[in-house]
Structures are given as structure tokens and as C-alpha cells.
Chain A
Amino acid sequence: MTDATSTHTTPPLKRALIYLLSHRAAGLFLFIVLLLGIVSVMNPAFLETQNIKDIAVQAAPVCIISCGLMLVLVSGEIDISVGSMMGLLAACMGAMVSESRGHLPPGMAIVLTLGIGVVIGLLNGWLVAYAGVPSIIVTLGMLTALRGVTEIVMGGSWITDLPDGIRFLGTGAFMGIPISLWTALTVILVSLWLVHRTAIGRRIYAIGSNPHAAYLAGLPIKPLKLFVFAWTGFLTGVATLVSVPQLSVVDSGIGVGLELLVVTCVVVGGTAVSGGLGNLSGVLCGVILMTMISTVLIFMKLGENATYWSRAIQGLFILGAIIADHWISRQRKS
């Protein structure tokens, strides 16, 4: 009864805002369209195919990792080690395939890179689920430790001689669309299937929204947490394989700050940091928005100094998402 009256008295504008903020994908989509409109009026060059393609290629690895990180957040944990993990995987991959170092066949290097990603993910997951260390501590430690390992692997130098077999993953295209985009599409489809059509996906939501109830219902909480971290490790490996070969040089600084970008995308996309809530369409919109922003700043002719603000914008977007969530939950209560 009170619900009915309160919806009647809420002004339509406010109701629309509540709808857009709580259906994050719709709200973000509208925001992206608005932003596109503004920037293309100010500078029509933004809508050129090449530019759109560049943004999409930039977004692909972020999107791939975000699909994994979303599940980590949904399960009620966090992983801020993905940037360093990517740095280490890039260094390992480079060292394995480079003609002057490992000189392994590309196929084997690909399998090994993914394998290392899974192993690091498993280690994260084991420490969180079985050793009982909070995920922020585990992944904060990993964020630094893996960077140290990367420096040791690289040995103070960098790798420039990647063979064509690996280069193809980064620069090649199939039906005119870069490999990385196909990969991102595959990862999205697999994630959709995982989240909506499998018991594992539904259980991850269950342990995130009410861990105690999930425990009482007999759900395998520890293996599930192990799985989400390993899956994120695997996807970080995939993202490394399709993005790092685009670069001409593999150095020890790859992936610095990536963890923050991915967390921003996932949180802005409507995933609750307390677990149990989040959907892929929102995360996808979050990824598009956050990767678009730096290019938008350049095309709005705010000068090159605008790029220095990109980190501040990321932080403000996370804060904005938190405020929006808080505001909605208060509106729902009243």
C-alpha cells in the first residue's frame, strides 16, 4: 500500500533517474549515446571507422578481464592483482617465444601463458578460500610480488623480437575484425552461458548475496571461490595474448594501473562490491564508457594535459557509482 502511494507521489523525472541508475546498463547506454552525440558535434572525426576500431581494440582486453573480475566481485571478493599478473604473463610469454631467449613454438607458449595465468589465479583463490586470508590482502601482496617477479624475468632488459605467429594474435584480423574483438565476443558469450545457464554461475551469485545461507544450503563455497580466481587468471592470460603482441616492445611496465581500470569498469557497470549483484550487460557498458573517455577527452580538444586527469576520472566514477547505489537503496526503503 505504502509502495503504491509513494510511486504515485514521486515526480516522473526522479522516477526516470531511479530507473536508469538501477538498470545500470540502460543508464550507461544513454550516457554513452549522449557523450557520443556531444563529442561528434564538437569533432566529427570521432565517428570515423578507424577511431571506433581503435577504441574497440583498446576495450577488448579490458572487457575480457572484466568478465572474470565481475564474477570475483559477485562472489563477494576482490582481485586487484590483474594488472601485475598481466605484466608477468606478458614477460613470460615474451621470454618464451622470443628468438633470443626461449624460442618455443607459439602454440606451446600460448598454452603455457594461459597455464601460468591459471596457476596464479589458483594461488590467489587458494589463499583466499582455504587459507582464509582476505582477498584484498592477498591480491595487494600479489600486486607487488608479481611485479617483482616480472622484473626478475625481464632482467632489466626488454623484448622486441616476437615471432610472427604470436604477433598475429595482436595484429591479425578475421573477416576484417581484429582477433582481439572476436576473442572478447567469445569470452562474453561464454560468460553469459556460465552466468545464466550453469549451476556454477548461479551458485556464485548465491554465495555472494548470502554466504551464510549458501553455506547452510550446502554449496561448495571454497571450490567456487577457487574457481572464480582461477577463471580470472585464465582470462587475464587470454587478454595478455591478444593485447600484448600489438606492442612493438615487451617491457616490465605492462599492465600498470590496469587493475584499477578493470575494477572501475565493473563497479560502474552496476556490480555491487558487497557481492551477489551484477550483470554482464552493465559491465560491458562500463567497459565501453571507461575506455572511451580518454579518447573523448582528446577529441574534445581539451589539450593533451587532459590525459593527466584520466586516473582522477576513474576514481570519481567509482565514487559516483557507490553514491548512486547508496541513493537508490535509500529511495527503495522510503
Chain B
Amino acid sequence: MKQRILNMIWQPETFLIVLIGILLTAMGRLDASFLQWEVQRALSSHVWELAIIAIPMTLIILTAGIDLSVGSVMGLSAITTGMLFQKGLPLPLACSASLLVGIFCGFLNGWFITRMKVHPLIITLATMAAYRGMAEGISHAKPVSGFPDSFTWLGQGDWFGLPVAAWVFAVMVGIVLWMMHGRAFGVGIYAIGHNETATRFSGLRVDRYLVTLYTFSGFASALAAVLFVARRNTAKADAGMGMELGVITAVVIGGVSIFGGRGTLIGACLGVLLIHETREFVSWHWNRDELNLLALGILLILSVVFQKLLRHKQGSAI
């Protein structure tokens, strides 16, 4: 019994909840207005795109992979929506096309990774440049705006008291949690992360899993792009610039091991919450965005260092 309680305390999720609690209390002391429900709801509109992309990123990092191209896929999808809308296509069609572009980008990532047998980081580094470059090339770095209200509602409007994007996120988390929990799909992902070769020899179609995950990542990025365009009422090639860093940091802070095989989706969501509150508070209270850049970079490195230390401790105890 004692052991079980100890185990529960040692979970990264417990740590995160305590940490978020402490941070929020401190923020409330410094600036009570920050914690008001209305303020929080308004500020939350900044995070849903990141949160949506964090779902597939968690799964990919669980397989010991990484996807650096998510921000660029967002850029390319945003531009697809914008350019097609400008050409006079009805918006539902333009959005579907941009989702297709995202799915295709993600599929291409997965295809290259499984065929070329090169580490995902170098493939997605290359496609990060290629997709962003295509977005810039197609649009000549010019923005498209003037979307109708029915579309911007997706990004700016509320539905049952929460932003539409929040509902999209909730549905996606629900589905993925259901898929992961005690189902072959979830077990397979953890197995690949623990030992890819062994998983391959045990007859699991590892390549199929990986292609699916990277395609899912492309789809989620495109979905985030559509919501982003609707929220800003502008489609521009630099949509989602630097998104990969925020997403990866959130997932890693959430206790998902960058070496694969360990971590949970709930943890990653808590990581997203932690990053979001910290970021918004720095902007809200000090109004210094460069501090955010610094903090985000350092947090990413420190959280991996911390993970290693923690793992070391656990390893030696057993």
C-alpha cells in the first residue's frame, strides 16, 4: 500500500499538478486579475492550436520519434485555405483542401521516415524547410484576409461557453484516450518506443503505425491551421512559426520521455497547461515577449535534464 502511494506521488503527473497549483497561486498573489474566469477564457484562445498538435506529437514522441515540421504544415495549410478562398472557392471546400494538404504532408513525412530509415528529426527538419518554403513561394509571403463572419466564428466564437477550438481539442483527446487505453493501438505505440526492433520481430506492423501517426500529426496541424486562420482572420505563410518548439516543450515537460516508451497523454495536456499559463502570465504581467523565448528554450532543456535525473533515481531504487 505504502509502495503504491509512493508510486503515485512519483508520477510526473502528480508533480505537474502540484507545480501548476503553486504557480497559479503565485500568479494570483502577484496579479489577482489574471486568474479571473473571463480573462482565462479569453487568453485560452491562444493555446488550443498548440494543444491540438500536442496530441499527435505525444504519440510520436512515445515512439521515440519527433516531428519538427508541424509549424510549417500549419503555414502551408493556412496558405492553402487563404489562396483557395481568394480564388473564389467556397470556404468549406477550401478548408477540406487544406486538411487534405496537411494529411498529405504528414503522410509524406511518415513515408520518408519508414522508407529511408533515417531518423525522423532529419527528415522533418528537411520538410520543415520545404513546407514553409512552399508556403512562402506560393503566397509570395503576402497575407490573405477578409474571411466571412461565419468562418471566423470557428476561431473567435463560443459554443456552450467555451471557444469552438476547445471542443475540437476535447473531442480529439477523448478519441485518442479511448484508442490508447488498454487497446492494441496504445500498447503498440508504447512497444515501439521501448524497443522498435523487438516490436517488429513480434509481428507488429511498425511502419504502418508510424505512417499513421505522422499522417495524424499532419492532419492535426492542418486543423490547427484552419482554426488559426479563423481566429486571426488572416492566412499568412508564417502561421505557426516556432510552433514545433512550444509543442515539443509542452509534451516533454508533461513527462513524456524524449527517448520513447514512457509518458501519458494526460501528462502532456498538463504540460500544455503549464506552458500556456507561464507564457500568458509573462506577457500579461511583464509584457516582455523575449523573456518567453528565453524561458521556453531553457524549460525544454531543463525538463529533459530533470527527466534523466529522475529516471536515474528510480532506476537505482529498484
Contacts and interface: CB of A to CB of B under 8 A. Distances in A.
Contacts of A142: 297, 301
B179 interface: no
B285 to A, nearest CB: 17
Nearest to A144: B297
Interface size class of B (residues with CB under 8 A): 35 or more
A148 interface: yes
Contact of B121 (A136, A144, A152, A323): A136
A223 interface: no
A315 B129 contact: yes
Contacts of B259: 134
Contacts of B244: 140
Contacts of A315: 126-133
A174 interface: no
Interface stretch (A25-33, A44-52, A227-235, A302-310): A302-310
A297 to B, nearest CB: 11
Contact of A318 (B125, B132, B290, B299): B125
B248 to A, nearest CB: 7
A149 B244 CA distance: 20
B136 A323 contact: no
Contact of B290 (A134, A140, A152, A313): A152
A273 B245 contact: no
A310 B134 CA distance: 9
B297 A137 contact: no
A311 interface: yes
A185 interface: no
A141 B115 CA distance: 29
Interface in A111-148: 127, 131-134, 136-138, 140-148
B300 interface: yes
A332 to B, nearest CB: 14
B294 A145 contact: yes
B115 A273 contact: no
A260 B259 CA distance: 24
B126 A151 contact: no
B130 A140 contact: no
B146 interface: no
B293 A312 contact: no
A314 B129 contact: yes
Interface in B288-316: 290-301, 304-305, 308
A145 B297 contact: yes
B229 interface: no
A123 B215 CA distance: 36
Interface string A75-98: 000101000000000000000000
B153 interface: no
A78 B130 CA distance: 19
Contact of B141 (A147, A308, A313, A319): A308
Nearest to B134: A312
Contacts of B116: 322-323, 326
Residue of B131, B259, B293 most packed against chain A (CB within 10 A): B293
Contacts of A140: 68, 244-245, 248, 297, 300
A45 B136 CA distance: 28
Contacts of A137: 248, 252, 258, 300-301, 304
Contact of A148 (B118, B125, B137, B293): B293
B304 A273 contact: no
Residue of A148, A310, A316 most packed against chain B (CB within 10 A): A148
Interface in B242-279: 242, 244-245, 248-249, 252, 258-259
A148 B296 CA distance: 9
Residue of B116, B117, B129 most packed against chain A (CB within 10 A): B129
A281 B172 CA distance: 50
Nearest to B127: A315
A56 B248 CA distance: 38
B293 A147 contact: yes
Residue of A260, A305, A311 most packed against chain B (CB within 10 A): A311
A151 B294 CA distance: 10
A274 interface: yes
A300 B133 CA distance: 19
B65 to A, nearest CB: 11
A239 B145 CA distance: 40
Contacts of A80: 125
B95 to A, nearest CB: 23
A74 interface: no
Given A145-B296, A312-B129, A131 B119 contact: no
Given A132-B308, A133-B304, A318-B129, 5 more contacts: A144-B294, A144-B300, A267-B122, A312-B130, A326-B117
8 contacts: A131-B308, A137-B252, A140-B300, A141-B296, A264-B129, A309-B134, A309-B136, A315-B128
**A-B interface, 9 closest residue pairs, ranked by CB to CB distance from nearest:** A312-B133, A145-B297, A315-B130, A148-B294, A311-B133, A148-B293, A315-B129, A151-B290, A318-B126
Interface of A: 78, 80, 127, 131-134, 136-138, 140-149, 151-152, 260, 263-264, 267, 273-274, 305, 308-316, 318-319, 322-323, 326
Interface of B: 66, 68, 112, 115-119, 121-123, 125-134, 136-137, 140-141, 242, 244-245, 248-249, 252, 258-259, 290-301, 304-305, 308
